[in-house]
Every structure is written in structure tokens, then in C-alpha cells.
Amino acid sequence: MSTSPNFIREFTLIDRGSRVKAQNGCAPPCAHAPMRPSKPLPSPPKCLESSSGCELNPKDKMRNSVIFVSGLVGVLLVACVQAQTPSPASKMDAFIFDLVSKMTLDEKIGQLNLLSLGFDVTGPVVNKDVEAAIRAGHVGGVFNTFTPAATRKLQDLAVQESRLHIPLLLGFDVIHGHKTIFPIPLALASTWNMDLVEQSARIAAAEASADGLNWTFSPMVDIARDPRWGRIAEGAGEDPYLGSKVAQAMVRGYQTGDLRNTNAVLACVKHFALYGAAEGGRDYNTVDMSRIRMYEYYLPPYKAAVEAGVGSVMTSFNEVDGIPGTGNEWLLTELLRKQWAFKGFVTTDYTAIKEMTEHGTGDLKHNALLALKAGADMDMVDEAYLRCLKPLVAEQPSWEPLVTEACKRVLEAKYKLGLFADPYRGCTPERARKEIFTPANRKAAREIAGRSFVLLKNAGQTLPLKKTGTLALIGPLAASQRDLLGSWSAAGDWKQAVNVLDGIKRAAGSDLKVVTAKGANLVEDPYMLEALNASGADIVTDEHSPQAMIDEAVATAQQADAVVAVLGESFAMSGEAASRSDIGLPAGQQDLLKALVKTGKPIVLVMMNGRPLTLLWEDAHCSAILETWFGGTEAGNAVADVLFGDCDPSGRLTASFPRSVGQIPLSYNHKNTGRPYGGDPRVKYVSRYLDVPNAPLYPFGFGLSFTSFSYSEVKLDKTSVQGEGPLLASVTLTNTGQYAGEETVQLYITDPVASVTRSVEDLRGFQKIALKPGESKEVVFKITPDALKFYNRDLVYDWEPGQFIIRIGPNSRDLKSASVQWSKS
Ligand code: NOJ
């Protein structure tokens, strides 16, 4: 059998024990390469099959015959070549088969070992033991180290000095950008623009791979209905439909469609599963929910990532159905591999096997076995597999195949990344210099940040601001750089971030005078301050008293025509292990805002935060509120772009903003209950609070533009539909304001009668529509039965005939609707 040159090169890498050296001649592993069955011939074009129902003129017939015959010849040729050339998949199988057959049990277990390695200021610290472990073939991957020099040093150890020369996976938490930091994921999702989300991931992958990395622990797709949970910042919000779209866009962006591209990185969807449903919003807390809720609302984004071809999955810290996710065989094998056909590998989260002991499932050895049997292939940081699997296999040799399977999955990922062909993936210091933190990347970060901001209020068209007169810029976040990057921006250099003060000064021009005051500390509460600073928040308390700071701010505001107050959270108040029970503005900042409001000046509140906050008072008293999240490296420029009207705030919320913490958990797609509240406060025995409406302050999907839009009634092309339909639902959207703007037209569907209770409505589509003032456009949604499906009591995903209400509008609250009957045939 003959082999292609690439085939030989990839085998010789391992076979001859040399690094990237190509050899001539056929290496023995060729014998293992299974022949690929040749492709079935194409069916002839429909119209050539029979003349009925599709008459063509003689010219077209002749053309089609030529196309068909040449297609046939082409396919036969390809089939002949393929009979001799292994397909990529079979090449990989043969390669892995051969490699694994040479591995000792220790080496196989080594591939399952994922270690964290840090830096010191002058370069990588490769701990002696780790160095020895890599040489001994006891390490499959490392994370928390980057730069071409540092990663090359590690990769050299693996491919030059270990017995089988197997390259390392080099991972990192590249969550919303590598060096060019984009807005936090919750903000990225708020763009409702999947091209921008994908672009951000693609740039992140290009920078990360140029910096020596080949694996990112992203996307995080955990659905969250509880903004007390700090990690809501890392996900796409509360909705599974939107969350699925974001998950897929991120996977496409990172993996680029072909992991062999040297600017691609392996994505890792996390945290599997249900991590966002921690009770009370307290991180790492227990999760308990029905299967129907799981399937309908929490699992879809992970599944969507799998369907998009994500190469790896990370387990979650929480339990699922009473069993920790990391040792849950139903989750990792039945659901993920068997039902969803996931083909990549699973890594545990940081020390998650060890933590199973705290959950109460036994000692480390027992939990290592549980995790392996469940389907967790790689062990992050614990070294539990390294320590426990060999003795376990000695006790029970029938467990060795589980180790072999896990090892194969890790090796396959390495193969798909092209690491056996080039372990360095073209990474050089020159490439890093050229491709990281480029002006083009920063430009993209600025545009994406501007489009992630959500305008929550704009009374009397306070915004955009004019570039004349005097503007007071006040607040502890106005000059902050560090906070702009948000959490999980580990490689980002906050000193390069543009703060709001600089952004505004750059944009202001000479006719606008900008005066500033800090006005308040970010956090006054000593209990929280201690916790935040202990974990690196670096919040410096001003030497002036809170009252002196407020007095100075009020005096500054009084000189101005308008006040921009930049308030919110420290970056460290959201993200991992950053839950809050009170999600209002910290008290000192509230005091400042109250004093500023008393000046009678128009107050533009620019919010920075990593979660929905309770802003009831702020909504009632400020003239305008712009939610800017943590906007990344270019946040300050982007804030100026929006404040001065150079960029329309087209972001829309992807998580509801509650009026009060007591409403949580909160999401637009809740169930109706048997006693729904109709809005009359005198009616008792209905599902409501006495002190606050049920509805959130700002609903899911909400956001304003500088301009205004009007929606026509919903038009349906039919009022009864059979089978596959489709149904066309449309509205006419008109820009009725003075500015060009972009609206996010949202489609929701209600299924009022079903065999299991359904939510009041579910998002099933959206379109971003840009219109000039006075312009109108018909926006059409093509609805098929897919949009009607849900998980029934047997967890079968299907739809049931009957009435459906089609709702279209600017957010989940302000919708117009029309009803349709849909039958199966
Ligand atoms: C723990 C976090 O839960 C996870 O999201 C992250 O990827 C790992 N640590 C690695 O840093």
C-alpha cells in the first residue's frame, strides 16, 4: 500500500523517536491503517431520475447529463485514490492505535494528567518535579503558562526528552480575549450579534495561539437565573436559545473550523453541567433540579457547543442529581457521549476529583475511579489519576481499558491540533509580536464594546451628550483601568486599558471642559473589602472621609452642565467565588449618587458591573443610565463613542435586572402557575409579592437606542398550518426617531396547552436590523415545527399540535402577538 508524504511524516515523528524529522519510506504503522470504504456514488440529479414532475428543455438535459457524467468520473477517480489513501479519520485512528500500543500504563496515565504552572517576573518557572514529570511522560498538558519562550521550553521537554515524544496540550483561561481584552462574556452576549461574538473569539484564538497556547477553557455556557452568582459575568445570561447561539459562535471562533490552523485553539465548553443553578447564587453550592428543567433550560447550550464540534468539555464542581458532575456517569457518558455523540475529551475542573471527598462520595482513590468510570478523561491539578489509577488497575486489570480509552481521546485532540506534525504550531516570538495586541484587534475590541452597552434609560433624550460646555466626570470607576478588564483577563495588561476619563478627554475636543472628582470609594464595607483585597482586588481606600469626598464631588458637579457618574462594582466583585447577597450599588456609592442627584443637574449614570444589579432608586432618579459592564481594553474609548453619539447603544439585556433581590431567581421564561397575578393589587391568593411587582425592572431583551422604533401588528401568512409549514411571521419596523439605529427584533413563542407545562414564552429567533431615520423594513421570521419543540415527560424532544401564540417585539415584555393553529398533518 502506498502512503502520502504527510502520512509518513506524522508516523515517523513517533516511530523513529525523533522530533519533527520526516523520513522516506514506509513506516511500519501503515499496516494498521484501515482502508476507508469508498464513497457511495452520487444519486443522479433529480430531474434526470425521471421525467415526471420536472420537465427540462433539451439544452438543460444535455448540460445536466454532462455534469452528471463528469461528476461520476470525478467521484470514481476520488474513490480510486481513496482506496489507496487513508481518510484523515482513519489516518488518525491508525496513528493513535500505533502510538498507544507502544505506551506503558504509566505513560497512558501521564496523558491524563493536567498540571498548572505559574510564572515569575522574569520568565517561566518550571518546577523541577514538573520538569522531571514531563520528561518521564507523566504529564499530558499544562496550563497557566504562555509566551512563545515559556511554552517552547515546556514543549521541548515533552517532545525532545520524553520517551515517546508526545507533545503537550497548553491551556489557559482565555475567556474574553487574550491580550486584547474584549467585554466580559455577559456583555458580548448583549450584542446579540453572533458575528461579533465569533470575531472576538477568533481574535482571542489568534493571539493565544501566537503566544504558544493551543487550548482555551472557554466558552462558559452555564445558564444563570440568579445574578447573585458572580459567574453570571462569564456566561451568556438566562436564555438557552441565545446561549446556544453564543456557544456555537464562540466554538467556531476559537476552533476556526479546522484545528490544524495554527491560529486556532481547542475550545472547552464548561462547566458541565448546571453550574449556573447554584442554590442561593452562592458559588460551588448544591444544584438540584428536575430533568425537564435541565433538558429544556440548562442543557441546550452545552449540547449546541457539542454540535458545533467543540473539542473538549470541562466538568462542573456541583452535583447533578445527587452525584458530583465530575463523577457522574449518566452525565458524562450516557448524556454527553451516547445521546449527544460527543467525540472529544473531558477534563475535570480544578481539583474537582479531590473535592468529591468533601461532597461525601469517598476518598481520593475511590473518587478517581468514579471519575474515570464516569468518563472524565483528564484530571486537572489533582494528580489523583497519577497517584491512584495504577494501584487501581493492579487491583482490577479490567479497568485498564478505561485508562486506554481516556488516553486515546487526549491523544486524538493533540492529533487534531496538528501537534504531532508541529508541536509548536508555528509559534515564534516574531509572530507573537506581529499578531498580538495589534491596532486592528484593539479597533475590533472598541467596536464590540460599544455595541455591548445597554441603554437602560434616556429621559428627555439626555444622551447623546454635546461636546460643548462643562462636563463633570465623577465616581470611583471613572479613572479605573484595572476594573475595565473584568474577571478572567489573566493575560491582559490593565495598564494598557483606556479608562473612561481618557476616553472622554480624547473625544471631547476643545469646546468641552471636563472636570473630575472621585466622590466615593468603590467599597466601604470592611467585611467585603477584606475579602476582595485578600484575593487581589487592590481596592485603595481614599485618605479623605466619605463625606469630604462627596462634598468635593458635589462642588465639581455644580460647575457643570451635566454629570457623568461612573459607578458600579470592582472587577473582583463578579467572576469565580464572587457571589453577593445584596446586588445594589455599594452603600458609599449610593450616598454619592443621592448627593449628585440633589444638585439638580442631569445625571448620566454609567454603570460598570459583572452582573445584573438592583437599580430601582437609580432608575427613578437619574436622567440616563448606560450599562457598560466591564468593557475590556478599549472600554473608555467605547464609552465616549456612545456618550457622544458616535456609536448607537444597540446592546440588549440577556439577563433580567430584578427590582429586588427577593425576586430572585428570575427569568422571563418562567412558568405561569395555577394562580397567575393579573396586576390588580386588591386580589389575594394569586402568585405575587405584596411589596414588589413580579416583573423585573428591566426585562430580558431590553435596551434602548438613541432613536425610537415602532412595530406594526404581527402579520402571519396563514392562521392554520400543517406539518412542516413553514409559517411566515412578520412585522414592519420603522425608525421613528432622529438617529440612525440598530434594533434587535425578537421572536417569542407561547405554547398555551401542552402535555407538560410550558413557560409563558420562549425566545425562538432574533434579527438585528439597522435603519436610518424614517426608514421602514418588513422583518420576516420563518417558523418551522423545530421552534415549537420541547422535552415531554419522556424527555423526547417533539412538538404537539394546537394553538401557538407568535410574539414579536423589542424585548420579552413589550410584544405584539398573533395566534396560529398548527396541526401535524
Ligand atoms: C476553575 C474554574 O471553575 C474554571 O472555569 C477554570 O477554567 C479553571 N479553574 C482553570 O483555571
Q: Hey, whose CA ends up nearest to atom 8 of ligand 1?
A: 350
What's residue 644's pLDDT? 98
- What atom in ligand 1 is closest to the CA of residue 270? 5
Instruction: Specify the DSSP class assigned to residue 697.
Output: S
Global confidence as pTM: 0.90
Determine the Cα–Cα distance for residues 656 and 697; give it in Å rounded to an integer: 8
Residue 750's pLDDT band, with cuts at 50, 70 and 90, is very high
Q: What is the pLDDT of residue 79?
A: 47
Residue having the nearest C-alpha atom to atom 4 of ligand 1:
349
For position 88, what pLDDT does the model report? 79
What is the average pLDDT value for the chain, to the nearest integer? 90
Neighbour count for residue 178 (Cβ, 10 Å): 30
For 271-285, what is each residue's pLDDT tens digit? Answer: 999 999 999 999 999
Residue 535 has pLDDT above 70, yes or no: yes
Question: Residue 222: exposed, middle, or buried by beta-carbon count in 10 A (0-12, 13-18, 19+)?
Answer: buried
- Burial of 36 from C-beta contacts in 10 A (0-12 / 13-18 / 19+): middle
- Please indicate whether residue 270, judged by its CB atom, sits closer than 6 Å to ligand 1: yes
What is d(CA 29, CA 43) in angstroms, rounded to the nearest whole number?
36
Adjacent-strand bridge partners of 471: 514, 562
Nearest residue by C-alpha to atom 10 in ligand 1: 350
330-380 per-position pLDDT tens digit: 999 999 999 999 999 999 999 999 999 999 999 999 999 999 999 999 999
pLDDT for 406: 98
Give yes or no for residue 537 having a pLDDT over 80: yes
Q: For ligand 1, atom 3, name the residue with the nearest CA.
A: 349
Residue scoring higher pLDDT (419 or 65): 419
Does residue 384 have a pLDDT over 90? yes
| CA atoms lying within 13 Å on the CB side of residue 382 | 30
Dist. CA 269 → ligand 1 center (Å)? 11
Residue among 685, 660, 631 nearest 200 (CA): 631
- Give the containing element (helix H, strand E) for 319: strand 319-320
Nearest of 629, 707, 667 to residue 812 by alpha carbon:
667
Ligand 1 close to Cβ of residue 582 (< 6 A): no
Residue 284 to residue 715: CA distance in whole angstroms:
46
Over residues 705-731, the mean pLDDT reads: 98
Ligand 1 neighbourhood includes 234 CB (under 6 angstroms) = no
What's the 234 CA to ligand 1 centre distance in angstroms?
11
Ligand 1: centre distance to CA 214 (Å) = 16
Mean pLDDT score, 560-564: 98
Nearest atom in ligand 1 to 144's CA: 11
- What is the average pLDDT across 394-414? 98
Cα of 75 vs centre of ligand 1, distance in Å, is 47
Cβ neighbours for 385, distance < 8 A, ≥ 6 positions apart: 109, 112, 113, 353, 368, 371, 372, 379
- Residue 441, pLDDT score: 98
- Over residues 724-732, the mean pLDDT reads 98
Mean pLDDT check: name the lowest of 12-26, 194-208, 441-455, 521-535: 12-26
- Beta strands of 690-740 (E only): which ranges? 709-711, 715-716, 720-722, 727-735
779-811: pLDDT as tens digits: 999 999 999 999 999 999 999 999 999 999 999
Q: Is the pLDDT of residue 77 over 60?
A: no
Q: Is the pLDDT of residue 55 over 80?
A: no
**Residue range 593-613: average pLDDT?**
98
Query: For the residues 387-398, what does the mean pLDDT come to?
Result: 98
pLDDT of amino acid 125: 58
pLDDT score at 702: 99
For the ranges 17-26, 312-321, 323-332, 529-538, which has the lowest average pLDDT? 17-26
Of the listed 93, 173, 239, 349, which one is catalytic? 349
Any ligand 1 atom below 6 A from CB of 217: yes
pLDDT computed for residue 80 by the predictor: 45
Q: How many helices (H) and strands (E) does the chain have?
A: 25, 29
Question: How many Cα atoms occupy the beta-carbon half-sphere of 747 within 13 Å?
Answer: 25
C-alpha cell at 245: 447561539
Q: Is position 561 annotated as part of the catalytic site?
A: no
Å from CA of 350 to ligand 1 middle: 6
pLDDT, position 3: 31
Separation CA 157–CA 115 (nearest Å):
15
Query: Is the pLDDT score of 224 beyond 50?
Result: yes
Confidence at residue 119, expressed as pLDDT on a 0 to 100 scale: 62
Q: Atom 7 of ligand 1 has which residue's CA nearest to it?
A: 217
Mean pLDDT of 698-720: 98
Q: Give the mean model confidence (pLDDT) for residues 730-736.
A: 99
Q: Cell numbers 476594573 label which residue?
A: 483
Classify strands 603-608 and 624-627 as parallel, antiparallel or unpaired: parallel
pLDDT (0 to 100) of residue 20: 28
Q: Identify the pLDDT of residue 124.
A: 57
Lowest mean pLDDT, pick from 27-36, 128-137, 525-534, 571-580: 27-36
% of the chain beyond a pLDDT of 90:
87
- State the pLDDT at residue 84: 58
What is the reported pLDDT for 9?
29
- Is there an atom of ligand 1 within 6 Å of 525 CB? no
C-beta of residue 407 within 8 angstroms of C-beta of residue 97: no
Q: Quick check: 521 and 548 in contact, CB under 8 A?
A: no
**67 has pLDDT over 50:** no
Tens digits of per-residue pLDDT, 185-214? 999 999 999 999 999 999 999 999 999 999
Distance 144 CA to ligand 1 centre (A): 11
Give me the pLDDT at residue 581, please. 98
Band the pLDDT of 762: cuts 50, 70, 90. very high
**Confidence category of residue 470, pLDDT binned at 50, 70, 90:** very high
3-state secondary structure 573-630: HCCCCCCCCCCCCCHHHHHHHHHHHHCCCCEEEEEECCCCCCCHHHHHHCCEEEECCC
**Please, are residues 445 and 633 in contact by the beta-carbon 8 Å criterion?**
yes
Task: Name residue 314's beta-bridge partners.
Answer: 347
pLDDT score of 347: 98
Average pLDDT over residues 430-438: 98
* pLDDT tens digits, 655-687: 999 999 999 999 999 999 999 999 999 999 999
Does 284 contact ligand 1 (Cβ within 6 A)? no
pLDDT at 62: 44
On the question of pLDDT at 75 being above 70, the answer is no
Residues in the chain, overall count: 825
